[in-house]
Amino acid sequence: MLLRMKTTFLYLLLFFIVFKATAQSDSSAHTSQIRVYFGGAFPKGDFQSSDFEDTYTPFAMSGPLMQVSYAKAIGRNLYGGATLGLRINAMDLDKFAEENDELVLSKKSRPWQSVFTLADAEYRFNLTDGYFFVKGSAGAALNRSASLHVETTYGTIAQAADKNTAFAYGASTGLFANFDKFELGFETGILSTRPEFKFTDAQGRSTNYKLSMTTINLGIFGAFSF
């Protein structure tokens, strides 16, 4: 899936560069930009773990990442702004229990979810037909852990979701091409937060644990400059 997305993005980029010439204008005249991003978030490290030794195994799978950003020029090629983002990563229930597990009657879960509010600093490099940019972000994320409900022949395994707000940061880079006031581009980067959740086991004993929820992101965006 990752390979297919990468290929799609590369073709898109090629398309932008080839067909850009007729629509070129001087975007430096625009001082503000609103950007709408959609892409995939691919868990890394502890977040993607299916390790039996974890206190609470996340089983996070790749999922969608949506972001809306505002950026305003604050210097030559330097932009400051803010991003509101939503990231959703489902649990891989087939790793928790195989599809044909004789003990399991039913299984369901609600996904991991993070809502990001980030302050951004972006630096743009002029290209012939657009811009290459690097962006750093810092802020907060309201996180919700995944919930789990598995009915078995010997009882129910139920783990409730928990919420926690934690510091979040990101770094990304990308390219975009100008079409007068509109831009199209792609962006790749990392987004991370480390909330503390409460895990309650079948005996009712609670444990607090910190989980690094880090994803590598890859997506496309459309932008409007004014």
Partner 1 sequence: MKTSLLCLLALIALLLSSCHTQTDDFISKNCPGSCTVIKGTLTTDGRTKPLAGVKLEVQWHEGDMFSSIRRRKAITTTDASGNYELRFLLRDDELPSTYPDNGSFTVKAHINLENYLNCSGGNILLRTYDLKRDTTITFDYLLPQKAFVEIQANNLQAKQQDDFMWTEFLSDAPCTTVVSWYTSDTKQIIPIAANQPVIIRTTKRKSGVETVTEEVITLAPGKTFNYEYTF
Short-list 145, 167, 154, CA closest to 202: 154
Q: Which residue has the tokens 């581009």?
A: 185
Residue 90 contacts partner 1 per CB under 8 A: no
CB of 213 to partner 1, least distance (A): 20
Short-list 36, 12, 85, CA closest to 225: 36
**Contact characters 12-51, partner 1, x per CB under 8 A:** --------------------------------------x-
Exposed/middle/buried for residue 11 (C-beta within 10 Å: 0-12, 13-18, 19+): exposed
Short-list 171, 161, 219, CA closest to 42: 219
CB of 158 to partner 1, least distance (A): 9
- DSSP codes, 34-81: EEEEEEEEEEEGGGG---TTSSS---B--EEEEEEEEEEEEETTEEEE
Pick 77 or 156: Cβ nearer partner 1: 156
Residue 102 contacts partner 1 per CB under 8 A: yes
Judged by CB under 8 A, the residue of 5, 84, 121, 157 near partner 1 is 157
Residue 123 contacts partner 1 per CB under 8 A: no
Residue 152 contacts partner 1 per CB under 8 A: yes
8 A C-beta contact, residue 160 and residue 118: no
CB of 105 to partner 1, least distance (A): 11
Residues at the interface with partner 1 (CB under 8 A): 50, 52-53, 57, 95-97, 101-104, 150, 152, 154-157, 159, 201-203
